Amino acid sequence: MKLFLILIICASAISSSFAYDPSPLQDICVAIAEPENAVFVNGKFCKNPNLTVAEDFLFQGLNIPGNTNNKLGSKVTPVTVDQLPGLNTLGISLARIDFAPYGLNPPHTHPRGTEFLVVLEGELYVGFVLSNQLANRLITKVLKPGDVFVFPIGMIHFQLNVGKTNAVAFAGLSSQNPGVITIANAVFGAKPPINPDVLIKAFQVDKKVVDYLQSQFWYDNN
């Protein structure tokens, strides 16, 4: 059953109708006048095809559970172009997500990719929030093993293990480098910190609350 579900993920991700990379493949790509000073391209530089080997297209270890012994009780094991060079230009990536009982993959967004999630073990309460234009409506569902759920590109979404046992899910993403922005980390853990006056007005809370939140260590489960 597990192998069948994983094959579904791979087949769906490979489908050309699903693969999608919008223009940028990284957060920023500032133009420069002198190409010799360039560090990045939009994506990754390509290896000479005559020098490629099987290992360029291989990632091992997704059968090993991630360490969920952290504040969130979850661990994401990504397989993007950074971990699997052969994904370059192919417009797909993958991730394994492990959850301790009641573990959370906190609200986050992928700025460059749609995500679809398949649950292998446990029960997950998942959801995403629509844009301001659609009144920030919340779309949620409790997923059981074998269920598949889609999080549209750019939408803030989350997964919570609502069971008393561990949970495991696999996610396919429609970009070789979908990126991830964890909302709490980005807002309260930005470096340098966002001016508290901005957050006080945005969240309509007392400065002490903002100071407290900005002083916390915001764990990244990726």
pLDDT tens digit sequence for 52-92: 889 999 999 999 999 999 999 999 999 999 999 988 888 89
Task: Say what the pLDDT of residue 212 is.
Answer: 96
Judge whether residue 39 has pLDDT over 60: yes
Model confidence at 10, pLDDT cuts 50, 70, 90, reads: low
- Average of per-residue pLDDT values in the chain: 88
Judge whether residue 136 has pLDDT over 50: yes
**204 — alpha (psi -120 to 50), left (phi > 0) or beta?**
left
Report the pLDDT averaged over residues 27-56: 74
The domain locations on the chain are: 21-177, 180-221
Those residues whose C-beta lies under 8 Å from the C-beta of residue 107, and which sit 6 or more positions away, are 129, 156, 157, 158, 182, 183, 184
DSSP 96: E
Beta bridge partners of 99: 74, 167
Report the pLDDT averaged over residues 84-109: 94
Q: Is 222 annotated as a binding residue?
A: no
Q: Is 132 annotated as a binding residue?
A: no
Both tokens of residue 49? 């095809």
**H or E, element range at 6:** helix 2-14
Task: Say what the pLDDT of residue 50 is.
Answer: 83
pTM confidence score = 0.84
Q: Round to whole Å and give the CA distance between 126 and 149.
A: 8
SS (H, E, C) 26-66: CCCCCCCCCHHHCCCECECCCCCHHHCCHHHHCCCCCCCCC
Report the pLDDT averaged over residues 196-216: 96
Cis geometry, peptide bond prior to residue 192 (ω within 30 degrees of 0)? yes
Judge whether residue 120 has pLDDT over 60: yes
For strand 104-109 and strand 156-161, is the pairing parallel, antiparallel, or unpaired? Answer: antiparallel
Judge whether residue 16 has pLDDT over 50: no
Judge whether residue 99 has pLDDT over 60: yes
Q: Is 36 annotated as a binding residue?
A: no
Task: Say what the pLDDT of residue 31 is.
Answer: 55
Report the pLDDT averaged over residues 189-202: 96
Judge whether residue 210 has pLDDT over 70: yes
DSSP 193: P
Q: Is 157 annotated as a binding residue?
A: yes
Residue type, 110: H
CATH fold group of domain 21-177: Jelly Rolls (2.60.120)
For the chain, list the strands marked E by DSSP. 74-79, 93-99, 104-109, 115-121, 124-129, 138-143, 148-151, 156-161, 167-173, 181-182
Torsion angles phi and psi, residue 87, rounded to 5: -75, -10
Task: Say what the pLDDT of residue 89 is.
Answer: 84
Q: How far is CA 180 from CA 12, 94, 95, 101, 127, in A?
A: 21, 13, 12, 23, 16
Q: Is 108 annotated as a binding residue?
A: yes
Which of 16-30, 45-59, 87-101 is predicted least confidently? 16-30
Both tokens of residue 218? 């915001």
